[in-house]
Amino acid sequence: MTRLVIFDYGAGNLHSLAKAIAADGRNVTVETDLRVAMQADCLVLPGVGAFGAAASAMQSGQADLRAALSDGLPCLGICLGMQLLFDASEESPGRGVGLIPGKVTRLRTPKVPHMGWNDIEWRESGNGQKRASLGSAYFANAYICEPEDESPILAWTTHQDARFASMVRSANTVGVQFHPEKSSFAGRAFVNAVIEDLIECR
Cα(82)–Cα(166) distance, rounded to whole angstroms? 9
Q: Which residues, 6 or more positions from 9, have their beta carbon under 8 angstroms from its beta carbon?
A: 46, 49, 53, 54, 57, 58
**Is 181 tagged catalytic?**
yes
Q: Which residues, 6 or more positions from 57, have their beta carbon under 8 angstroms from its beta carbon?
A: 9, 10, 32, 34
Cα(169)–Cα(37) distance, rounded to whole angstroms? 20
From the list 42, 75, 159, 179, the catalytic residue is: 179
From the list 75, 79, 114, 159, the catalytic residue is: 79
Cα(122)–Cα(131) distance, rounded to whole angstroms? 9
**Is 179 tagged catalytic?**
yes
Contact at 8 Å (CB) between 152 and 170? yes
| DSSP-assigned states of every residue in 94-163 | -----SS-EEEEE--SSS-SEEEEEE-EE-SS-TTPPP---SEEEEEESEEEEESSSTTEEEEEEETTEE
Give catalytic residues, as residue numbers: 79, 179, 181
